Structure 1
Amino acid sequence: MRRLSSTVVVVAGERSGKVVSGLDGLHNVRAIARGERSPAEVEEAVHRATATYVVHDADPLAAVGDAWVDLFDGAAPVGGLEVAIETALAGLRSDRLALPDYYVVLDPDDMPVTRRHWWLGALAGSAPSRVIPARASAAAVTDALGRLSSGRWWPSDLEGWLRGLTRTVPDRVGLPSSSGLDPKP
């Protein structure tokens, strides 16, 4: 899996496309709103961009997040999360998908509980400084871009981490289990 020279930021949340569009024209920021583009077209535009920050709203883990939420909300058949994980891994291995350096999550307090646990628990638990909550406005995201801090990147064992999401339970992420071991893989 390759990494880009730009800092790639995915804006996620209900009004992400509008917020990303509002960032267009900022100095050193290339804003790419998905709109009618396919994920592959967005990924190609991200790889061609040369700005310091490349901000877009095409989350490469969207299907995994949706399947994780559906699993724990009882809204999907068994096996859906595993299929989404294997599909994401295939895309990451082939460089059709690339994990961003950061996620800016819009208005997480307004999200349904399990969705909020995806962003601020399951995903942030793997790399806490890489998931930033923000209000759903271009100004708030601009401010967040100016305050990005370094920290460990996503787990080096992406396959193990993603496959372990089937055992990563909302409300339990990061809590010690009765055996004293963290329930996260």
Structure 2
Amino acid sequence: MRRSSSTVVVVAGERAGDVVAGLDGLHNVRALVRGDAPHAEFAALVGRAGGTYVVHDDDPLAAVRDAWTAFFDGVSAPGPLEVAVEEALAALRADRVQLPDYYVVLDPEELPETVRHWWLGVLAGAAPARVVPAPSSPPRVAAELGRLSPGRWWPDDLASWLQELPRTVPDRAGLPAG
């Protein structure tokens, strides 16, 4: 899977598009809002974008997140989650999407419990320094960009990590095994 030479940051949350738009014009930040753009077209734009930071609101794991939360909220069977995982893996392998360097999660304390476990348990458990909570404010997110710290990358074996999600229980996600 390819990696951009820019630091790619996905802003996630209810106000992500507004916050990303509010970052437009900052020095060394290329802010891209997906809006109504087709996913594949937008992913290609992100892949071509240059700048120290490329910040956007199009989470490549959104379908996996939605299927995982639906499964653990009891509104879906495991099948849609398994399909979402396989589709995400196929897109990652084919370089149609890339995992970001960081996720900035807006207002995590206001998220539904299972969604909060996705961000601060599943993803932060896989790569703790790569998930950063922040208020829904462009200046506060801009400040977080300047404080991003290096840390381990996403798991080397993405397939195993993602395929294990149906057995990753929300209130245990991100905790040490045992």
TM-score range, shorter chain: over 0.9
Q: TM-score when scaled to structure 1?
A: 0.94
Q: From the two aligned structures, give the one with the greater helix fraction.
A: 2
Aligned twin of 2:123: 123
- Please list the CA deviations of residues 73-132 of structure 1 after superposition, one character each: whole Å capped at 9, or x if unmatched: 011133111000000000000001100000000000000000000000011100000000
Count of residue pairs the alignment pairs up: 178
**Residue 25 of structure 2 aligns to a residue in which SS?**
coil
Aligned twin of 1:56: 56
Aligned twin of 1:42: 42
Aligned twin of 2:73: 73
- Say what the alpha-carbon RMSD is for the aligned residues: 1.0
Matched to 1:140, the amino acid is: R
**Residue 79 of structure 1 aligns to a residue in which SS?**
helix
**Residue 104 of structure 2 aligns to a residue in which SS?**
strand
Determine if the alignment matches structure 1 residue 147 to structure 2 residue 147: yes
> Which consecutive unaligned segments of at least 5 residues does structure 1 have?
177-181
Aligned twin of 1:134: 134
Structure 1's consecutive aligned runs of 4 or more residues displaced over 3 angstroms after TM superposition are none
- Please list the CA deviations of residues 9-50 of structure 1 after superposition, one character each: whole Å capped at 9, or x if unmatched: 000000100100000000000000011112212211111111
**Residue 104 of structure 1 aligns to a residue in which SS?**
strand
Q: TM-score when scaled to structure 2?
A: 0.97
Matched to 1:157, the amino acid is: D
Change (3 A) 1:102 1:175: closer
In 2, the alpha carbon distance for the partners of 1:133 and 1:11 equals 10
Whose RCO is larger (CA < 8 A, sep 6+)?
A: 2
Aligned twin of 1:171: 171
Aligned twin of 2:14: 14
Range 167-176 or range 79-88, more displaced: 167-176
> Which consecutive unaligned segments of at least 5 residues does structure 2 have?
none
